[in-house]
């Protein structure tokens, strides 16, 4: 029986989308730093915080029934 959060082979659980969203957000900050919209110091801190949040979320998230 297929889990209700699964549609085909793609999982619709929100915690499976968090890490890719943090990577995309980190890339966005990096791009804005390269374009001098933000200072590189701000970008370095923001990307480091996103990596920490992503790591902690993967450590503390509960097991998923769809995996």
**Tens of pLDDT along 5-63?**
555 666 777 777 777 888 888 889 889 989 999 898 998 999 899 888 888 877 777 66
The predicted structure's pLDDT at residue 4: 57
The predicted structure's pLDDT at residue 38: 87
Q: Which residues pair with 7 in a beta bridge?
A: 10
The predicted structure's pLDDT at residue 58: 72
The predicted model scores a pTM of 0.63
The predicted structure's pLDDT at residue 45: 92
| Three-state DSSP state, 63 | coil
- Cβ-based burial of 29 (10 A; exposed 0-12, middle 13-18, buried ≥19): buried
How far is Cα 8 from Cα 59, in angstroms, rounded to an integer?
A: 27
The beta strand positions in 1-67, using DSSP E, are 6-7, 10-11
């Amino acid at each position: 029986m297929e889990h209700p959060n699964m549609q085909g082979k793609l999982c619709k659980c929100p915690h499976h989308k968090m890490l890719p969203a943090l990577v995309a957000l980190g890339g966005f900050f990096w791009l804005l730093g390269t374009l001098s919209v933000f200072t590189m110091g701000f970008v370095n801190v923001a990307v480091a915080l996103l990596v920490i949040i992503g790591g902690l979320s993967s450590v503390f998230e509960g097991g998923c029934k769809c995996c």
